[in-house]
């Protein structure tokens, strides 16, 4: 009985509402997905910047919605990247809406009193007492019904024994029971395409992977599966190979993919959306000298300091992977003493032969050694960067220049 009462109390606590504050606390970008993308699409729809479906996928339509929002609120650059500046503006609007809601409540009711701890405890105790009273009444009813059921069961058993004794003396034995029914086989065909919506790539196409499997009572079974896409029809024997195929689309639109096996037909529609060219954009991160917890505008280093960081920056994602190919800059320190590093590895200040993709990492401009540099304040101006697109093979300009950095030697 005590366990039942404790369980009822716990159930009551689980029914109490828990407030949740809606906000965006991390970046979203092209290719992101999940609940936060859904919330972003709903917010942009409410703001009039997005008219697409609420899918939870961050593709071209969502990026256009973010760009529309950035243009409306003078957020630069309007590249469709949902980063710190855009998040801050969205959270500011959400906070303002919450404040307006509270103000409306005060205007209509006169105040919005905050319940005290004692009020909540008293309310909870009253609810618990009411539930315990109901539980006691139900327990008494159950005990009464149990006694009646036990008495009825005893009477039924006595009656059955009497009937069996009479049947043994007056009737022939009953016929054998019928055979057990044959278990029903539930057949199904599972068709998957990975993603249901994909954009065209930089090369003007996109590809969907297709898998199909035949099951009986939830377990995969070998079967001959026919897979039909707008390009081709293939028959796969899953006893010898997987039920796999692929479909490459070169135009936007909706395409239907169909699979059939053992009389079962399944189909799925995939959506190909427009390709949107997105060049990488440079973002200044700020310089953290050794031991500093906050970035400084003009970092200072002593003469003889090794690997002195004078500039930190990131490059945002583009519509294809890339690697830095060319830099243009001005500096009033010897160029031979400068070094460009990506993720802690040196790739040189002229990285035209960089052997691997360094995109989406932290880049740093460093002075190898400040020995021989006179004390004073210096300037480093990053005027432009060209990257090599690893899919297109083309040189592309990074947006957002020039960037000017200052540092001092003491």
Among the residue ranges 93-107, 340-354, 360-374, the one predicted with the least confidence is 340-354
Q: pLDDT-based confidence at 354, cuts 50/70/90? A: very low
187 or 238, which is more confident?
Answer: 187
d(CA 262, CA 238): 13
Whether residue 10 is predicted with pLDDT greater than 60 in this model: the reply is: no
Dihedrals phi, psi of 96, to nearest 5 degrees: -65, -40
| Confidence at residue 22, expressed as pLDDT on a 0 to 100 scale | 60
Task: Estimate the share of the chain in helix, then strand, then coil, as percent rounded to the nearest 5.
Answer: 30, 30, 40
Q: pLDDT-based confidence at 336, cuts 50/70/90? A: confident
d(CA 193, CA 258): 11
CA atoms within 13 A on the CB side of 322: 27
| Confidence at residue 21, expressed as pLDDT on a 0 to 100 scale | 44
d(CA 183, CA 180): 9
Q: Which domains does the chain have, with CATH numbers?
A: 2-109 (1.10.101.10), 187-273 (2.60.40.1930), 282-409 (2.60.40)
| Confidence at residue 110, expressed as pLDDT on a 0 to 100 scale | 67
Among the residue ranges 73-82, 160-169, 242-251, 311-320, the one predicted with the least confidence is 160-169
Whether residue 7 is predicted with pLDDT greater than 70 in this model: the reply is: no
Cα radius of gyration (the chain): 35
Q: pLDDT-based confidence at 391, cuts 50/70/90? A: confident
Supply the pTM of this predicted model.
Answer: 0.38
Enter the tokens of residue 70.
């950035």
Average pLDDT, the chain: 81
> What angle is formed at CA 369 by the lines to CA 365 and CA 370, rounded to 5 degrees?
95
What SS3 class is residue 158?
helix
pLDDT tens-digit series, residues 202-230:
667 888 888 998 998 888 889 889 899 89
Sheet strands (E) in 217-321: 219-220, 224-228, 233-237, 244-249, 253-261, 264-273, 282-284, 300-301, 306-315
| Confidence at residue 208, expressed as pLDDT on a 0 to 100 scale | 86
| Confidence at residue 17, expressed as pLDDT on a 0 to 100 scale | 38
Whether residue 398 is predicted with pLDDT greater than 70 in this model: the reply is: yes
Whether residue 250 is predicted with pLDDT greater than 90 in this model: the reply is: no
| Confidence at residue 333, expressed as pLDDT on a 0 to 100 scale | 85
Query: According to the per-residue pLDDT averaged within each range, which of 139-143, 270-274, 342-346 is highest?
Result: 270-274
Q: pLDDT-based confidence at 8, cuts 50/70/90? A: very low
Whether residue 291 is predicted with pLDDT greater than 50 in this model: the reply is: yes
User: For 319-347, what is the mean pLDDT?
Assistant: 79
Cis peptide before 108 (omega within 30 of 0): no
């Amino acid at each position: 009985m005590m366990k039942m009462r404790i369980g009822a109390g716990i159930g009551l606590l689980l029914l109490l509402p828990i407030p949740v504050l809606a906000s965006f606390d991390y970046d979203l970008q092209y290719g992101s997905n999940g609940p936060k993308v859904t919330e972003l699409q709903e917010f942009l729809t409410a703001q009039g910047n997005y008219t697409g479906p609420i899918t939870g996928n961050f593709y071209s339509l969502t990026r256009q919605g973010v760009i529309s929002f950035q243009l409306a609120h003078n957020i630069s650059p309007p590249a469709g990247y949902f980063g710190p500046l855009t998040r801050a503006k969205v959270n500011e609007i959400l906070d303002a809406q919450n404040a307006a809601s509270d103000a409306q409540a005060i205007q209509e009711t006169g105040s919005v009193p905050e319940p005290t701890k004692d009020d909540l405890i008293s309310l909870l105790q009253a609810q618990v007492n009411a539930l315990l009273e109901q539980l006691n009444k139900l327990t008494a009813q159950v005990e009464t019904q149990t006694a009646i059921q036990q008495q009825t069961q005893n009477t039924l058993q006595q009656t059955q024994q009497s009937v069996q004794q009479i049947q043994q003396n007056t009737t022939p034995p009953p016929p054998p029971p019928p055979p057990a029914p044959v278990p029903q086989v539930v057949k199904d065909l599972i068709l998957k395409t990975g993603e249901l919506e994909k954009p065209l790539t930089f090369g003007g196409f996109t590809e969907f992977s297709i898998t199909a499997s035949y099951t009986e009572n939830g377990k995969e079974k070998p079967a001959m599966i026919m897979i039909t896409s707008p390009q081709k029809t293939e028959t796969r024997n899953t006893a010898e190979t997987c039920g796999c195929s692929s479909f490459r689309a070169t135009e936007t639109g909706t395409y239907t993919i169909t699979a059939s096996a053992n009389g079962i037909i399944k189909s799925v529609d995939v959506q190909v959306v427009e390709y949107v060219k997105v060049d990488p954009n440079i973002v200044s991160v700020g310089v953290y000298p050794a031991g500093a917890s906050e970035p400084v505008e003009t970092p200072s280093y002593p003469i003889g300091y090794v690997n002195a960081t004078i500039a930190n920056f990131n490059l945002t994602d583009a519509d294809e992977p890339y690697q830095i190919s060319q830099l243009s800059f001005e500096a009033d320190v010897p160029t031979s003493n400068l070094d460009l590093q990506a993720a802690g590895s040196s790739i040189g200040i002229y990285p035209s032969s960089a052997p691997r993709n360094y995109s989406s990492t932290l880049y740093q401009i460093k002075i190898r050694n400040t020995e021989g540099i006179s004390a004073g304040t210096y300037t480093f101006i990053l005027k432009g960067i060209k990257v090599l697109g690893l899919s297109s093979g083309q040189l592309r300009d990074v947006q957002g220049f020039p960037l000017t950095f200052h540092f001092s030697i003491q």
